[in-house]
Structure formats: C-alpha cells, structure tokens
Chains A and B, each alone.
Chain A
Amino acid sequence: MSTARLPLHRRPGFWAGGLFAAFAVISALRISDAIDSTTGFILMVVAMLQIIPLTRASLAKQRSTGHLSAAVARYTRRFLFATFGYVLGLGIAVTIANRVELSQGESFLIALLPVIPVLGMIWTMARYLIEEEDEFLRHRAIMASLFGLGAVLTLGTFWGFLETFEVVPHVWAWWVFPVWAMGMGLGQCWMGLADRRASDPSGDEA
C-alpha cells in the first residue's frame, strides 16, 4: 500500500513530524524562559505520547511493505517502553540535579536514571538480532547497525581531533548512542531506497 493513499493519521511521517515539532516548540519555549524546567518536562512527557500512534502507524506500514515479523513487533514494543523510561529518567534526573545539592555518589545514582533505559534500548536491539527468524531482515538490521557504528567512529574521531586542536566545542560522550541510532536509521533508509529502486512491483500480482 502506498503511503500517499493512507489517511494522514495513519502515516508514520505525520506523527514523527508532530513529535519533532512539539519538541522544537517546547525547546524554544524553554530556551526563551517562557516556561520553567518542570513545565517543560511535563510538556515533553505529554508530547512523547505521540510515540504510541507513531508506533502503530509504523507497524501498519511495515506490515503493508512486508517488513513486519513477530520479532519486529516485539522490538517496537520494547523500544517504546525504553523510550518512555528514558524521557522519565532524564526528566527526573535533571529536575533533581537542578534542585538538590548532590554528593558524588548521589550524582552517580542520578546519572543511572537515563542510562538504564538506554541499556534497555541496546538490549532490545540485541534481542531483535537473536529473535528475528527472517534471515534477510536480520541481515539488514546487522548492516544498518554497522552503518551506525561507522557513523559514530567517523564523526567521533573527526570531532575528537577537532576538539583537540580547539576548532570545535566539547561534546558530551552520551551523544554516541543517538549518533549510532541516527546512523542506523540512515542505513535502513538507504537500504529501503535501494530496495524500492530494485523491487519488482509486478511481483505481487504474478
């Protein structure tokens, strides 16, 4: 089924766009001090609820393009829980750190709040590779994660040397996971485009 024929609320791009737009608006409000950090956190959690229809629309699209397996559905559900955990953990950690004077040990424990859900995301990805029975989909997921790894190593090394020679500002190390995930997403998109270019649309009819 072509995405163009789907109603707006069933298109993953609609919900992904809504999510990014909400984050952009909340960030702008926060940067301009129009809202305080607690209000910003509550709005972020509310905006995150768009992940539920985004997930449903993505699963429906994957089903229609033949990419959906039981392992993909499990991966999506687990990742959804981990994402909620991450937003909650990060929000709670930042709120506490901004309001309470913490010892080093307490700071260590607070830092674990967003880290544990991220570990959950990494575990989810590992489980997917173990549970996926469709070897082609598994092959694609491995290629995409290697693409992400390549992106992290390239950008990280390049940025590190630029930082050493004081060309660019310091970047927190936690960026490795988002950069890897973005690289993986780009890899999936690139392979998806190659699929579409090479696919035989008459295949379903024959």
Chain B
Amino acid sequence: MKNRLKVLRAERNWSQQALAEELGVSRQSVNAIETGRYDPSLPLAFQIADVFGLTIEDIFIHEKD
C-alpha cells in the first residue's frame, strides 16, 4: 500500500528515528512502512494518523484511488 509518510515527515522535519520513538516502534519499522514493504496493522495506522494529526486516509493511499 502506498503512503505519504515520507512527505509528511519531511514537512515536519522529523527523522525516521524521531517518528519511530514517537510511535514506540523501531526505526526499521518506520523505514519498512515508508518504503511500502510492510503494511501496518490498523492500530498502528491509527497511531501514525494521530501523531500527524490526520486521518488514516490522508496518509495511506488505497490502490484503487
């Protein structure tokens, strides 16, 4: 699943490590989600959305969209 994580992170000038610490996950997890190699679970997707103050749909792009 595609996502806007890298762009959103860059807009806020956050490193992968800073975002990982905010989410309580490893930096590798952030990297894997960002590069589309791993789709997060629904609870983690909600957590990511909360950190950015957005909805899940604002961050993760459904392939059909």
Taking Cβ atoms with an 8 Å cutoff, the residues of A that contact B are 65-69, 133-137, 139, 194-195, 198-200, 203-206
Contact = CB atoms under 8 A, between A and B. Distances in A.
Contact of B31 (A69, A203, A205): A203
A139 B25 CA distance: 13
B6 A200 contact: yes
Given A200-B35, A203-B34, A206-B10, A137 B28 contact: yes
B5 to A, nearest CB: 10
B26 A137 contact: yes
Given A135-B44, A139-B38, A200 B31 contact: yes
Nearest to B36: A198
Nearest to B17: A204
Contacts, number: 66
B37 A198 contact: yes
B53 interface: no
A135 B40 contact: yes
Contacts of A194: 37
Interface string B21-49: 00011111111111101101100100000
Contact of A69 (B17, B26, B33, B38): B26
Given A66-B31, A135-B41, A136-B38, A206 B15 contact: yes
A198 B38 CA distance: 12
Contacts of A133: 24
Contacts of B40: 135-136
Given A135-B41, A137-B26, A200-B34, 17 more contacts: A66-B20, A68-B26, A134-B25, A136-B28, A136-B33, A137-B28, A195-B31, A195-B32, A203-B6, A203-B16, A203-B30, A204-B15, A204-B16, A205-B15, A206-B6, A206-B9, A206-B13
Given A200-B6, A203-B16, A204-B17, A137 B29 contact: yes
A203 B15 contact: yes
Contacts of A65: 27-28
B2 to A, nearest CB: 14
